[in-house]
Amino acid sequence: DQILVTRGSSEAIDLIIRTFCRSGEDHILTPTPAFSMYRHYAIIQGAGVVEVQTLAERDFAIDVDVLLAACGAHTKVIFVCSPNNPTGTPLPRADLLRLLDQRRSQSAVVVDEAYIEFGDEQSVIELLNSYPNLLVLRTLSKALGFAGVRCGAVAGAQEIIALLSAIQAPYALATPVVECVEDALDDDQLIIAANAVKQVIAERSRLMSAISNYDFVSKVWPSEANFFLIRVDDAVAMMNHCKAHKVLLRHFGGELADCIRITVGSQSDNDTLLSVLNRFAKD
């Protein structure tokens, strides 16, 4: 009664905004940079978007005081991705508790835990019974590597889950998808996934250390996700070089115009990336 399975956590984001935000009246609040789907679904609903800038010089840490100051009477949903995409920054539990307490009867606080397995912070799902305004998003796309199956979930108070369920399209998941998910959640598969997460964390440390030694890299931000963000001298040139050697990275542009997000792969994949970057450093 406290969990709704959705077509990826993206569908849950859509359902939450449609449930809480009236078109042309209410708005969502989110730190930025953040996952673009929060803004995307708010715009579709006709809800406003208030974005609170996080600062590179503070490692993109989310300042809860600034978030609270940006809230108003029509702030119906606050999205916090922890660890955040694309920065890898977690929100400490003490800060989340303060946010939940201050907005207890005024805003739904949505904690997106898509990357939670890769960090030190524990899931906040056990807080659901203490905070009726808390919603937690989970997905099979990251730690379980099951993005193609499009399966996620939202957990929250029973009354809210009932509302979300009422507006969800019927027959959300096809039978083959359900069968694949059941297989992925088998105990043996979960052990394999947990070991894969450990390998990613170890490779993340190795890769970040190696990349920080390049002269064209001016900053490597700490991360608790399966990716990390770097600042480089010429992001476009580096992206083009990597693409030419069949290595795909992520360049967001805008406020992150000089930054590139690197996803941590297998040891072999990461060695390939380092080899390509070695060539780039010599050019």
Residue-level pLDDT at 206? 98
User: Within this chain, do residues 102 and 211 fall inside the same structural domain, yes or no?
Assistant: no
User: Within this chain, do residues 164 and 40 fall inside the same structural domain, yes or no?
Assistant: yes
Residue 33 preceded by cis peptide, ω within 30: yes
Residue-level pLDDT at 265? 96
pLDDT higher than threshold 90 for residue 172: no
Both tokens assigned to 167: 């507006």
CATH of the domain at 109: 3.40.640.10
User: Within this chain, do residues 166 and 35 fall inside the same structural domain, yes or no?
Assistant: yes
User: Within this chain, do residues 75 and 196 fall inside the same structural domain, yes or no?
Assistant: no
User: Within this chain, do residues 234 and 137 fall inside the same structural domain, yes or no?
Assistant: no
The string of pLDDT tens digits covering residues 191-222 is 999 999 999 999 999 999 999 999 999 999 99
Residue-level pLDDT at 171? 85
- Taking only Cα atoms into account, the Rg of the chain, rounded to an integer number of angstroms, comes to 20
**At a CB cut-off of 8 Å and minimum separation 6, what does 104 contact?**
131, 132, 133
User: Within this chain, do residues 146 and 75 fall inside the same structural domain, yes or no?
Assistant: yes
pLDDT over 90 percentage in the chain: 95
Residue-level pLDDT at 88? 97
Of the pLDDT bands very low, low, confident and very high (cuts 50, 70, 90), residue 98 is very high
User: Within this chain, do residues 175 and 195 fall inside the same structural domain, yes or no?
Assistant: no
User: Within this chain, do residues 112 and 134 fall inside the same structural domain, yes or no?
Assistant: yes
pLDDT higher than threshold 90 for residue 173: no
User: Within this chain, do residues 78 and 170 fall inside the same structural domain, yes or no?
Assistant: yes
Residue-level pLDDT at 256? 96
Three-state secondary structure call for residue 5: strand
* Last residue of one domain, picked from the residues 184, 209, 235: 184
How far, rounded to the nearest angstrom, does the alpha carbon of residue 265 sit from its chain's CA centroid?
17
User: Within this chain, do residues 110 and 203 fall inside the same structural domain, yes or no?
Assistant: no
Residue-level pLDDT at 283? 84
* Last residue of one domain, picked from the residues 160, 184, 208: 184
- Structurally, the chain folds into a number of domains equal to 2
pLDDT higher than threshold 90 for residue 266: yes
The string of pLDDT tens digits covering residues 18-75 is 999 999 999 999 999 999 999 999 999 999 999 999 999 999 999 999 999 999 999 9
* CA pair distance 207, 16, nearest whole angstrom: 37
User: Within this chain, do residues 65 and 176 fall inside the same structural domain, yes or no?
Assistant: yes
Range of the domain at 214: 188-282
Residue-level pLDDT at 281? 96
* Last residue of one domain, picked from the residues 154, 184, 214: 184
CATH of the domain at 201: 3.90.1150.10
Mean per-residue pLDDT of the chain: 96
Residue-level pLDDT at 86? 97
The string of pLDDT tens digits covering residues 7-28 is 999 999 999 999 999 999 999 9
* CA pair distance 260, 232, nearest whole angstrom: 8
Residue-level pLDDT at 146? 85
pLDDT higher than threshold 90 for residue 231: yes
Q: What average pLDDT score do residues 186-194 get?
A: 95
User: Within this chain, do residues 75 and 171 fall inside the same structural domain, yes or no?
Assistant: yes
**At a CB cut-off of 8 Å and minimum separation 6, what does 15 contact?**
4, 6, 154, 164, 167, 168
Hunting for tokens 């503070």 — which residue is that?
Answer: 58
Q: Are 55 and 75 in contact (CB under 8 A)?
A: no
End-to-end alpha carbon distance in the chain: 58
Residue-level pLDDT at 148? 87
